[in-house]
Amino acid sequence: MSNTPRLTAHLVAIILSGICACLGTTAAAFSFTRGHIYSTNYFSLDIMEYDSSGNFIDSITLPSRLGSETRGIAFGPDNLLYVTMVRGSGFAVCALDSTGAVQQMYRNTPVYVAGNLSFGKIAIDHTFIYVAGQDELVRFRLGKPRSGRSIYTNNQVFDAKVLPSGNLFVASAYAIDEITNQGTLVRHIILSGGPSFVDVRGVEYDPATDELFVTELGYTDFFFQLMRINASTGQFEQSVTFSYADDLFLSESNTLLVGSRTDTPRVYSEDLAQTGTIGTAQRMFVTQYTGP
């Protein structure tokens, strides 16, 4: 009797395999595929994979020994997937291959990433990993797991975007700043012609159009907004409402992938017209694989 569940599962696998063979198809499996979309979520250890249209493909579940939940997610120049893991009140960044195996772990436990569900977003270039959390932006040198140090502080640092120059846009609760990769302030983005930065959560940038995209929780008469702003002038151009919009990623096809704390992630054009969704369930942190 003790072998019955195992035998049943084995028979089901054989039957499904036979059905796929008859149909001339192969069951989907988690992989790193160019153009596919990936997501993580707070209070979860699952990494979801979707095709470029947002249809669910497969998922993997990370072991709890790595941390209690996943946060920010981004692919590195080495084609590994970097995921922020909450560990106690602090964090570590795990560099994962497509099987979920850890290739390196970057640790910086003092930063209180557990303190807000939106903390822990990652930005990566060919030299550095940047992690936003608590009141700090922490920088690691790629390949040096013990190199973490704070390079920038502000009131609740939530996100960062690496620019072609190597500088970064950094989003804190009430400001967007441009800084160097050493943390030196270059300029404040002065928002004009519309709302204020209030409870900002995510930032993204398109250098081809010089457009800055920002999510914020907002305030009375301007709650839950995805905004488009001219990055050079700070001129507010447009916004749409999306409940608890949070993480942002500009895809290869120049669409915005937007995660939410409460809703299914959405896909928007750069004109902020919704063009689709990612999966069918709430997910907050989003990215795309743009490797080979």
Q: Which domain holds residue 17?
A: 1-29
Number of domains the chain is built from: 2
CA angle 234, 236, 239 (to 5 degrees): 140
Helix segments in 200-263, DSSP class H: none
Cα torsion at 129, 259, 156, 195 (round to 10°)? Answer: 120
The low-confidence residues of the chain, meaning pLDDT below 70, are: 1-27
Q: What is the pLDDT of residue 248?
A: 98
- 11 and 141 share a domain? no
Q: Which two tokens stand for residue 260?
A: 């939410």
- 23 and 119 share a domain? no
Radius of gyration of the chain from its Cα atoms, rounded to whole angstroms:
20
Name the residue among 236, 234, 284, 228 with its Cα closest to residue 254: 228
Q: Which two tokens stand for residue 263?
A: 């809703």
CA–CA dist 277, 200 (Å, integer): 22
- 101 and 225 share a domain? yes
CA–CA dist 227, 267 (Å, integer): 14
Q: What is the pLDDT of residue 16?
A: 38
Q: What is the pLDDT of residue 56?
A: 98
Q: What is the pLDDT of residue 65?
A: 97
- 25 and 134 share a domain? no
Number of neighbours of residue 225 by Cβ within 10 angstroms: 22
Mean pLDDT of the chain: 92
Q: What is the pLDDT of residue 232?
A: 97
- 108 and 150 share a domain? yes
SS (H, E, C) 137-158: EEEEECCEEEEEEEEEECCCEE
- 181 and 282 share a domain? yes
- 11 and 112 share a domain? no
For the chain, the residue count is 292
- 6 and 38 share a domain? no
- 126 and 2 share a domain? no
pTM of the complete model beyond 0.75: yes
The domain spanning residue 140 has which CATH number?
2.130.10.10
- 132 and 269 share a domain? yes
- 40 and 162 share a domain? yes
For tokens 């001129």, the residue is 235
- 10 and 78 share a domain? no
